[in-house]
Every structure is written in C-alpha cells, then in structure tokens.
C-alpha cells in the first residue's frame, strides 16, 4: 500500500511544520528548522505508531535531523525523543529544569503524589476511579523519560536552532520547565504550549517544584509581553500573529472561571472537587480531570493573593472566601 505523504508545510522561511496526531488533543506541532548541518527538530510528538510512521517517512525521504530541542517535558512533546535517540542516533537537548522533571518521574512516586493532590481536593468520585487514573498515568509515563539528554540549557541563554541563535526564555506555568525560544532578528518566537491559538493552555499542578502554577503562568505571560513578536509558533493549533491579543483572551478566560469560583463560595465553603462539578456541569467526561485540576490551580492562586482561605477538614481541603 502507498504510504500517505508526510505532512510538511513551510510556515516561515526555512521553518517547516510537522503535525503529529495525538489522541484526545488531535495534534501536536513539531517544527523542523533548516540549517547547514541539517534540521533542528523542535519537539517530537507522542510515542505512537502513527507518529513513528510520519518520522520514518520524512527521514527516508532525505530529511536529515541534526538535533532535537524540546520546549518542555510533557509526553506529547518529548514522547518520541528516546526513539529518535535510540533508532536514529539523533542528540536530544532539554532544559536543566526539564531534565529535573524527567528524573523526578523516573522515581515512580510521581503518580502517588498527583493522586494525593486529587484526593486532598476531593477530585475523585470513588477509590476505583483513583486507581484507574493512576494506572492510566503510569502507562503513559513508562517510556518517555528513560533516556539521558545530550545537552542542557538554562534561562536567558542562546541556543542554535537551524542556522540562527534563539534566546531561551523560561516560561513556567503550563509546565514547570516550559521554555520559549526567541529569534531577535526575525521577531519570531517558538512559543510551545505557553500561548495557544483557540484553546487555553492547561495549567497543571504537576510538580512540587511549582506549587502555584497559575501565578507562575501569569508571570510568564507578562515576561513574553516584553518581546516584539511578529509570529509565534505554538505547540498546538495555528501560528499566532497577535500574541498580546491572545494573551488577553486567555487571561479573560481564567478571570471568568475565577469569578465563578468566588460566586460559588459566596454562601458556603466547598472543596475544589465540589466547585468543579458545579462550574463544569457540561464538561466532557473524557477530560474530567481537566476541570478539577483547573479549579484546584485557581483556588491555590486565589488563596495566595488573599482572596480565599482554606483549611484541611477530614483530609479534604475546604475553601471559603477570605474575610
């Protein structure tokens, strides 16, 4: 059978988009940046048969990948890094912060930690549900982090992508290790999952290295506003031309949900689990943990700025409006 041609689209000079299908999220954007020594690949896609086929097609069609640079450690971005390294001997670079998160996940106690967070915030309807969640998480994490990166970078450095130097900008929030890369001459930013067209990036409490991710996210959005950006290349969806406008839309979306939380607590105290059931009544059941997580991160943020108070009652964190 004839293989379908690889999905490859030049979206800026010498920068090609490769869209890799991802279950539930539809697709992840990977970018091939042309250079004298080959292409730099930004992000790899999830470890799936479909993803591997796309990359095998591209490599056999003559695309030479010099190195891989990762925006952050989430499995839809890092998932095939180990495969590239082992199968095609392509070096992989990640931030020091990303490497720390990888090592943390390898210890195997990560899912216990995240389950305990959901339990504390009343996020599971049953014990069975918590076990099912844990098993699904462990399956996903099993493969992705079992490799050693070939190089690390930190905030405020320059990294070579293709032929050009890009500034590394640490933008925690969506993940504790998230990085954007900025090309000063072209006013072009590889923005990863920090700002996405159409959908609001999920903000996850997923690491003890960042216990107030929404606060981090807001700070990282401010950081980005200092750059003049003509084109931003996101990890999902379309390229963005007006980043500041999109930032304001995303912030307004959070603010809308924050107002709902404050309204929900007007007359009685509640857990994040109770509030999320109330606020997201029509939520897609496949992504049921998203609404709970979003409510948790907003409650933590609101408590940190003095709008809410909480106490632990019978093992559950209960929120009320601050006096």
Show Cβ contacts of residue 321 under 8 Å, excluding neighbours closer than 6 positions. 262, 265, 266, 307, 308, 309
Size of the site for Zn ion (CB under 5 A): 2
Instruction: Choose the stretch contacting Zn ion; rule: CB under 5 A; options: 71-79, 90-98, 236-244, 309-317.
Output: 71-79
CB of 130 to Zn ion, least distance (A): 23
The 10 Å CB-count burial string (b at 16+, else e) for 259-283 is: ebbeebbeeeebbbbbbbbebbeeb
Question: Is 13 in contact with 68 (CB distance < 8 Å)?
Answer: no
Q: Near Zn ion by CB under 5 A, which window of 189-197, 248-256, 270-278, 314-322?
A: 189-197
We find the least distance from the C-beta atom of residue 35 to Zn ion, in angstroms, to be 25
Smallest gap from Cβ 101 to Zn ion, in A, equals: 12
- Least separation in angstroms between residue 280's CB and Zn ion is 21
Q: By CB under 5 A, is residue 193 in contact with Zn ion?
A: yes
Chain center to CA of 168: 16
- Contact region with Zn ion (CB under 5 A), list: 72-80, 244-252, 298-306, 314-322: 72-80
Cβ pair 66, 99 in contact under 8 A: no
Q: Nearer to Zn ion by C-beta: 25 or 211?
A: 25
- Decide whether 101 or 164 has the Cβ nearer to Zn ion: 101
Q: Which is nearer to Zn ion, 145 or 319 (CB)?
A: 145
Residues 6+ apart with CB under 8 A from 296: 117, 121, 123, 205, 272
- Coil, strand or helix at 171: coil
- 74 part of the interface to Zn ion, by CB under 5 A: yes
Quote the CA–CA distance of 321 and 185 in Å, as a whole number. Answer: 48
| CB closer to Zn ion out of 121 and 174 | 174
How deeply is 235 buried, as exposed, middle or buried, from its count of CB atoms within 10 A (0-12, 13-18, 19+)? buried
Stretches 70-78, 215-223, 262-270, 294-302: which one binds Zn ion (CB under 5 A)?
70-78
Q: Which is nearer to Zn ion, 194 or 257 (CB)?
A: 194
Q: How far is the CB of 204 from Zn ion (least distance, A)?
A: 8
Q: Is 210 in the site for Zn ion (CB under 5 A)?
A: no
Quote the CA–CA distance of 112 and 223 in Å, as a whole number.
33
**Minimum CB distance to Zn ion smaller for 78 or for 302:** 78
Rg (CA), the chain: 20
Q: Cβ closer to Zn ion: 192 or 291?
A: 192
Q: How far is the CB of 158 from Zn ion (least distance, A)?
A: 23
**Does residue number 206 form part of the binding site for Zn ion (CB under 5 A)?**
no
Query: What is the rounded distance in angstroms from the CA atom of residue 159 to the CA atom of residue 317?
Result: 43
Coil, helix or strand at residue 311: strand
Q: Rounded distance, CA 154 to CA 222, Å?
A: 19
Q: Which is nearer to Zn ion, 67 or 74 (CB)?
A: 74
Between CA 293 and CA 271 the distance in angstroms is 12
Paired tokens of 41: 């690949």
Task: Answer whether 141's CB lies under 8 Å from 111's CB.
Answer: yes
Q: Which range binds Zn ion by CB under 5 A, 137-145, 158-166, 187-195, 269-277? A: 187-195
Cβ 89 to Zn ion shortest distance, Å: 26
Our CB check for Zn ion shows the closer of 76 and 122 to be 76
Residue nearest to Zn ion (CB): 74
Site stretch for Zn ion (CB under 5 A), options 88-96, 190-198, 264-272, 307-315: 190-198
Where along the sequence are the contacts to Zn ion (CB under 5 A)?
Answer: 74, 193
């Amino acid at each position: 059978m004839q293989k379908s041609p690889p999905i490859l689209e030049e979206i800026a000079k010498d920068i090609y988009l490769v869209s890799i299908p991802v279950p539930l999220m539809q697709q992840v954007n990977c970018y091939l940046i042309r250079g004298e020594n080959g292409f730099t690949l930004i992000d790899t896609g999830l470890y799936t048969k479909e993803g591997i086929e796309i990359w095998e097609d591209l490599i056999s069609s003559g695309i030479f990948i010099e190195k891989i640079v990762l925006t952050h450690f989430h499995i839809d971005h890092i998932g095939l890094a180990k495969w590239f390294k082992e199968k095609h001997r392509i070096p992989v670079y990640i931030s020091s912060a990303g490497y720390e998160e990888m090592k943390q996940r390898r210890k195997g106690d990560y899912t216990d930690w995240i389950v305990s967070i959901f339990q504390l915030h009343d996020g599971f309807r049953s014990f069975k549900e918590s076990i099912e969640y844990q098993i699904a998480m462990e399956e996903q994490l099993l493969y992705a982090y079992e490799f050693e990166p070939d190089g690390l970078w930190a905030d405020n450095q320059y990294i070579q992508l293709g032929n050009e130097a890009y500034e590394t900008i640490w933008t925690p929030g969506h993940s504790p290790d998230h990085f954007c890369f900025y090309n000063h001459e072209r006013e072009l930013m590889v923005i990863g999952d920090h700002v996405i067209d159409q959908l609001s990036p999920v903000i996850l409490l997923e690491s003890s290295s960042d216990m107030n991710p929404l606060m981090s996210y807001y700070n990282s959005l401010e950081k980005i506003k200092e750059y003049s950006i003509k084109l931003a290349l996101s990890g999902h969806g379309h390229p963005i031309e007006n980043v500041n406008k999109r930032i304001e839309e995303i912030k307004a979306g959070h603010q809308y949900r924050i107002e709902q939380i404050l309204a929900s607590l007007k007359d009685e105290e509640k857990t994040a689990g109770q509030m999320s059931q109330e606020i997201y009544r029509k939520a897609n059941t496949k992504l049921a943990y998203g609404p709970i997580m979003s409510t948790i991160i907003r409650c933590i943020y609101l408590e940190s700025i003095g709008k809410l108070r909480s106490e632990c009652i019978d093992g559950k964190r209960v929120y009320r409006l601050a006096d």
